Amino acid sequence: MAIRTTVNLDLETATLLKQEAEKMKMTHSAFIVRISQMLMKRAKSLHRAEGTVRYQKRNASAGWNTVHVQFEQNEYSSFIDMRNLFKSSVSRLIALVFQDYLISKRKMTHNDFLMKFSDKKQYTGHKVEYNNFKTFILWKIYWLSPT
């Protein structure tokens, strides 16, 4: 079942993201899912044990654009778990991973991109476990290692 939602991105990021998706001949939703695999490589630097959810930096002069995206159930669940684990809005996570993509794309051809980000195992291997002990609760989140 497909889940439709929206994310807010600054106008420049939203425009570039749509352009890159068109270059790769895919929808921006599919493109976002593919590049999101890069987030797990940053897991140690993104993880926060405490604090509030972080959002994109506010820039009064930058315009904002609402981007409509569609995820499969398992992709959506993975994004929600990343949101909780990294204490970041989904919009912020997408903006961060897109900036990572722009940096790494200088070294990638179209075929390199398709080979590197064609695997959707990240979402099929996703699992969450909950254990309630007398004095604490233990959550375990499993993702297959991104390639």
* The pLDDT value given to residue 147: 41
Residue 81 pLDDT more than 90?
no
Report the predicted TM-score, pTM, of the whole model to 2 decimal places.
Answer: 0.75
Report the Cα 98 to chain-centroid distance in Å: 9
What is the domain count for the chain? 1
Residue 147 forms part of a structural domain: no
* Digit-coded pLDDT (tens) for 31-70: 898 888 777 777 777 777 777 888 888 776 778 889 999 9
Residue 9 forms part of a structural domain: yes
Judged by average pLDDT, the poorest of 25-29, 30-34, 113-117 is 113-117
Residue 22 forms part of a structural domain: yes
Residue 146 forms part of a structural domain: no
Residues in the chain: 147
Could you tell me the two tokens for 37? Answer: 């695999």
Q: With beta carbons less than 8 A apart as the criterion, state whether 86 and 47 touch.
A: yes
Higher pLDDT, 146 or 36: 36
Residue 126 pLDDT more than 70?
no
Residue 143 forms part of a structural domain: no
CA–CA distance, 57 with 143 (Å, rounded to integer): 28
In the three-class reduction of DSSP (H, G, I as helix; E, B as strand; rest coil), residue 129 is classed as strand
* The pLDDT value given to residue 68: 92
Residue 142 forms part of a structural domain: no
- Residues of the domain holding 85: 2-118
DSSP state of 29: H
Residue 60 forms part of a structural domain: yes
DSSP string computed for 37-73 = GGGGGGHHHH--SSSPPB-PPP-TTS-EEEEEEEEEH
Residue 114 forms part of a structural domain: yes
Higher pLDDT, 93 or 115: 93
